[in-house]
Chains A and B, each alone.
Chain A
Amino acid sequence: MRSLNLRAALLSLALLVLLLAVWQVATLPSGGSPAPAAASMTAEEIEYAKLLGKDPTAGAAPAAARSGFPTPAQMAAAAWAQLASPFHDHGPNDKGIGLQLAHSLGRVALGYLFAAAVAVPLGFAIGMSPLLYRALDPFIQILKPISPLAWMPLALYTIKDSSISGIFVIFICSVWPMLINTAFGVAGVRREWLNVARTLEVRPMRRALEVILPAAAPTILTGMRISMGIAWLVIVAAEMLVGGTGIGYFVWNEWNNLSLPNVIFAILVIGVVGMLLDLMFARLQKAVTYAD
């Protein structure tokens, strides 16, 4: 077992090294003719080169074209520059990556909590009542697959506030998996357990909290975990549209500067944070799961 873990870790590491090597090779400056020496250029040619950001008089060979895909070294430099001051705050348009993440996480938390507050009780109701389930099903089926980007204009137009719109979009996109899973979990509680509860004349409230909830908890948490993933997906899209603050705005702003290293760095950060959020829910899920 131990050796399997070890081997897996080694394999992961090898894959990473291979990936970096392929990246390095793929972004090597494409052969081409080397830039002519400054001595052989006319004054205008030298000025022209300078205006393109290349200084032929500087002596050293020009760095790889900045227009291409960044090399791992450029990437590392960008990441280092960002991580060096993650919490700097120079006004509304220039904040460190840490602050941007905090803004995004705050929005996600708000939208997600609203969604949970609506979805879990409603899901409970739907799960316990086949009538409600059938009546609401068409709405859920239609609203569920709508992309956050489609909601955004409508939200902006009606809510008339961009940050609330962002939170609304997280709400509306993360509510469905929780709702469906809660309903599914509640509806799927074993008949025998409910019958036992009925024989013991347990009051409805107690039945819901002490029989159904624990039984449905793993399924509900699965829904919550899926929803968290969706909320984190949504926030980046929403902030790219609405701007202002957040990791999505950061991506947009760096894209505006056509700064690919920073965009890639932000993508990695988004991935890592998403993974951490998922791990958190995996822990929770484990805590409420029971063996039959």
Chain B
Amino acid sequence: MSPGLDPYDADRPLRLGCACGQHGSADEHVQAKAAVATLQARSESEDFVARANAFIEAAVVKALFPQDAVRRRFLRAVGRSTAMAAIGSVLPLASLQAMAQDKAALEKKDLKIGFIPITCATPLIMAHPLGFYSKQGLNVEVVKTAGWALIRDKMLNKEYDATHFLSPMPLAISLGAGSNPVPMRVATIQNTNGQAITLANKHKDKRDPRQWKGFKFAVPFEYSMHNFLLRYYVAEAGLDPDRDIQIRVVPPPEMVANLRAGNIDGYLGPDPFNQRAVYEEIGFIHLLTKDLWNGHPCCAFGTSAEFIQKNPNTFAALFRAVMTSAAMAREAKNRELIAKVIAPQAYLNQPETVIAQVLTGRFADGLGKVQSVPDRADFDPMPWQSMAVWILTQMKRWGYVKGEVNYKQLAEQVFLLTDAKKTMAALDMQPPAGAYPKFTIMGKVFDPEKPEAYVSSFAIQRAA
């Protein structure tokens, strides 16, 4: 443990303030503070700093050159420093490591970041108590927000500088679906996997979605992976999500209450509310969305294009803080401590054991079994454009957007911070064709090069 981080050092001011009422006992109070201190110590170990830097750099370079071969060719052709300069000329995201040492002047230091209290927001939230924001010279206030529509409105109002998004939201907002069109950008994906389909206990014997005709389901927002994955899943079973089942938009805590009251039969919701239903003994986890599409994106961290343009250095600092946090959250050994840090009132406000089960992947499934799925929730921050294209195909498929959709253009605008093609053209390099990774969703391969064909390949769809 590095000096100055000993949690038992009486003189050390601890960051997670609580005097307290937040924890059940003095013992828990000490434990939570110790968790913060341990995580901070880990974040300052040389080993982790090196790894986090590599992680950030890899993310940026990978974002530019999703194909390994092209990336290698590019780096070999121009050399490291030129490559960094080239990337940096497009957006000051690049040479992030260098910037970490000689920090450019921040345009704006006091920032407000919105979040919805769910485990998807883990990196964004934990960066606050662990001091990752302040380490970048930022004074960030993370503000708990009452719903996704409000997140959208507060981003449009510029009350928030950056925010926790559902990954389809920046696409929808940029398109003007469900709001005025305002260009939004996804900086990183906040988390991958991490959702589940929860059913009421009375449906324990109806594990086949073909038996779900007439069921009522809840999802947290229309433009959400939850909605698209649920629709995809039931449609694969031959049910029309618009006709054979009912899908309602319901805030997550009300999902649990409605499940108890019997108003809904199940939901595809964010954690911890799937685990919470098990904890309350009213529902069981039918399947993890990881089993539909392993590595699917869920929430994202993003902001408006305008904010990035006006505050490039601030944005880069913010990006580094969130990415450091993501690097930390990815490591399994940190997960239990992270659960302690983000469970209190000011953040998720949930029982710690519920959060720990979600993050560690060792959980009670509601059917009497303890399951061990370490990748139940992961924090891979890569905003692959093919993810954006997939989201757009589903928006098209279910009629959320009509007419021609310029999939690639939108995906590149919203899901990528750097205009890779321009850079490459400037360097006389041929932009790669088919540089988007393919995904397999419920056994079906999605080819982002042929989005239109993908949409029309589904028997059940609303696309005009």
Contact = CB atoms under 8 A, between A and B. Distances in A.
B1 interface: no
B117 A92 contact: no
A81 B347 CA distance: 19
A199 interface: no
A139 interface: no
Contact-residue size bin, chain A (C-beta under 8 Å from the other chain): 35 or more
A193 interface: no
B346 A252 contact: no
B405 interface: no
B370 A162 contact: no
Contacts of A258: 253, 256-257, 276, 280
Given A48-B370, A253-B144, A160 B156 contact: yes
Contact of A252 (B146, B279, B362): B146
Contacts of B21: 81-82, 84-85, 88
- Among A53, A84, A85, A161, find the residue whose CB has the most chain B CB atoms closer than 10 A: A53
A241 B281 contact: no
B13 interface: no
Interface residues of B, number: 48
Nearest to A254: B349
Contacts of A50: 353
B350 interface: yes
Contacts of B143: 92-93, 244
Given A92-B141, A94-B345, A243 B150 contact: yes
B306 interface: no
B255 to A, nearest CB: 10
Interface string A144-170: 000000000100110011100000000
B144 A93 contact: yes
B266 to A, nearest CB: 17
B242 interface: no
Contacts of B19: 85, 88
Contacts of A161: 157, 159
Given A88-B19, A94-B22, A243 B253 contact: no
Best-surrounded residue of B146, B156, B357 (most CB of chain A within 10 A):
B146
B99 interface: no
Interface string B171-209: 000000000000000000000000000000000000000
B443 interface: no
A205 interface: no
A85 B369 CA distance: 40
B178 to A, nearest CB: 12
Contacts of A65: 281
B41 interface: no
B180 to A, nearest CB: 9
A209 to B, nearest CB: 43
Given A90-B22, A90-B345, A256-B117, A52 B146 contact: no
A242 B146 contact: yes
B146 A44 contact: no
A52 B278 contact: yes
Nearest to B251: A256
A31 interface: no
B277 to A, nearest CB: 10
A91 interface: yes
A278 to B, nearest CB: 28
B154 A90 contact: no
A81 B20 CA distance: 10
Contact of A94 (B150, B344, B350): B344
A165 to B, nearest CB: 9
Contact of A93 (B18, B142, B350): B142
B157 A90 contact: no
Nearest to A51: B364
Interface in A44-99: 44, 47-48, 50-53, 65-67, 81-82, 84-85, 88, 90-94
Interface of B: 17-19, 21-22, 117, 141-147, 149-150, 153-154, 156-159, 252-254, 256-257, 260, 276, 278-282, 344-347, 349-351, 353, 357, 362-364, 368-370
28 contacts: A47-B370, A48-B368, A48-B370, A50-B353, A51-B353, A51-B370, A52-B364, A53-B279, A53-B351, A67-B280, A90-B22, A91-B17, A92-B143, A94-B22, A94-B346, A153-B149, A161-B157, A162-B150, A162-B154, A240-B146, A241-B147, A242-B146, A243-B145, A249-B146, A252-B146, A253-B144, A255-B253, A257-B349
Given A48-B368, A88-B19, A153-B149, 9 more contacts: A53-B351, A53-B353, A91-B346, A92-B144, A93-B345, A243-B145, A253-B345, A256-B253, A258-B276
